Amino acid sequence: MKNTIEIECPPEILLGLHMDSQRFADLIKLQSATALFREGKLSSGMAARWCGLPRVHFLLHAMQSGAVLMDNNDDDFTRETALL
């Protein structure tokens, strides 16, 4: 099941960004997914699926926009080294 959310946007925003409504919707979706991922409310896999991206591409985008993938603490270290 798909849900569609409608957002009002004045035409001058689209003109100022040099975007059509579809490109703007894609931007809003990616920015929202990235913010929710950074806040720990969405997994990287769920965010990537929502944006229609491979997970690694989403993670690269998230890191470029400031997301921290690991807190660099003892719990992260233990979890990651247990995988070796």
**DSSP string computed for 5-46:** ------HHHHHHHT--HHHHHHHHHHHHHHHHHHTTSS-HHH
For residue 71, pLDDT beyond 70? no
- Is 79 a residue whose pLDDT tops 80? no
26: pLDDT strictly greater than 90: yes
Please compute, for residue 42, the number of CA atoms within 13 A of its CA located in the half-sphere on the CB side. 23
- Please write the tens of the pLDDT for every residue from 39-55: 889 988 999 999 999 99
Helix-, strand-, coil-residue percentages of the chain, each rounded to 5: 60, 0, 40
pTM, two decimals, is 0.77
Q: Are 70 and 76 in contact (CB under 8 A)?
A: yes
Domain chopping of the chain, boundaries: 11-82
